[in-house]
Amino acid sequence: MPLYHTSASVLGLCSTLRAGSTLALGRRFSNSTFWPEVLASGATIIQYVGETCRYLLAAPLSPRDTQHKVRLAIGNGLRPDVWNTFKTRFNIPIICEFYGATEGPSAIWNRSVNDFSAGAVGRNGSIVTVLLGSSLTIVRMDPDSDPPVPLRDAATGLCQVADWNEPGELLYKLDPANIERKFQGYLGNSTATRSKILRDVRKKGDAWFSTGDMLRWDREGRWWFVDRIGDTFRWKAENVSTAEVSDVVGTHDAVREANVYGVLVPGHDGRAGCAAVVLDESASPKKDGADEKADALALPSQSVLRSLAAHCTSNLPRFAVPLFLRLTKQMHTTGTNKHQKHFFQQEGIDVEKIEASGDKMYWLRGDVYEPFNLAQLQEIRGGQVKL
């Protein structure tokens, strides 16, 4: 991870300095050099962000997958759909997942040694729940507001606290008389600083830090990440979590990576689901290669398109099934390998722009994903098709 990232600089570098241990820092991430560097350094702990783990899983099987000395992996963003696969393939007994933000006043942690908390971003026992119960809360969000805002009680004006297992925004408590004690804000941007502070949440005059993330908390003390608030979209009057849909799409054998987002569709309210996916090489029929460009996007077989449609419709509510599929060779990512959505969102279902980038669009028709071209887009624009 680059050292401008808090995970690498604080949890990585500073932790090793404090413990008097050794940090082996690669020049850049590559799934072909990662494990050789781990073996060469004799590392016993590795650090990750979730997409890094996906890239490692996408590499061909190798004897060195389990020849290392790693006993623990620590990081954030390891999604449920690859959690146990990652542990099993690389024989890593302990996962230490955390949730937090650089500017956030606190964080939550999950030291997972079995399946009980696999996929959770945090886990509290009874004692910690009692000690921290008043310092964080989850509040319901108004599904009809844009941008989303917390739901407030009409009589009291206070926020509505979510029930167990009910998704809502995670908030951290601040000192209303001294906000900077826990939240220093954004340098030179008072507007952004104010936007992260919510008042009158559980009682008049209190102050809370807005994480901008949807989480849920179950009765077993496990915290589950649902989605970024800006990433959740509405379709058919229902809220759709892009992260939860990505988890389902990503478990299909033919899918190497999945990035789900909402797209505007002419003549329709809300946003329809679209999944940008990188397929495994095995998903495409073998070509002779005579007239195929080396860098051309390999198209999936009919059986894969049918299987993927069946997988989505059988594992997701109907309103959450991606109606569009965008095949791409490579995801847009940040410097820390996290998926970016805005490039895909900007192009939506504009077939001409999508195909100009080398990608290919499909849409769900019955029980299979079929090619989506300019003719189909014109039918939607003309009101001939209702999704």
110 DSSP β-pair partners: 97
Range scoring the smallest mean pLDDT among 124-128, 134-138, 153-157, 188-192: 124-128
* CB 32, CB 59: distance < 8 Å: yes
* CB 329, CB 58: distance < 8 Å: no
Place of tokens 């805002």: 149
Model confidence at 290, pLDDT cuts 50, 70, 90, reads: very low
Average pLDDT of the segment spanning 225-250: 88
- Separation CA 273–CA 270 (nearest Å): 10
CATH fold of 130-226: Luciferase; domain 3 (2.30.38)
Model confidence at 3, pLDDT cuts 50, 70, 90, reads: confident
* CB 49, CB 76: distance < 8 Å: yes
Model confidence at 287, pLDDT cuts 50, 70, 90, reads: low
Q: pLDDT value at position 142?
A: 85
CATH fold of 231-381: GMP Synthetase; Chain A, domain 3 (3.30.300)
Q: pLDDT value at position 293?
A: 57
Predicted structure pTM score: 0.78
Range scoring the smallest mean pLDDT among 77-91, 182-196, 290-304, 312-326: 290-304
Average pLDDT of the segment spanning 165-193: 93
Largest CA distance in the chain: 72
Q: pLDDT value at position 47?
A: 93
pLDDT in tens, 331-371: 888 777 778 888 898 899 999 999 999 999 999 999 999 99
For the chain, the C-alpha Rg in angstroms (whole number) is 22
Please choose, from the candidates 325, 358, 323, the residue with its C-alpha nearest in 3D space to the C-alpha of residue 254.
325
Range scoring the smallest mean pLDDT among 160-169, 184-193, 298-307, 329-338: 329-338
Whether residue 259 has pLDDT greater than 60: yes
pLDDT in tens, 76-122: 989 888 899 999 999 999 999 999 888 889 899 999 999 999 999 99
6-92 in CATH: which number? Answer: 3.40.50
Q: pLDDT value at position 123?
A: 93
For the chain, the domains span 6-92, 130-226, 231-381
Whether residue 234 has pLDDT greater than 90: no
Average pLDDT of the segment spanning 190-204: 94
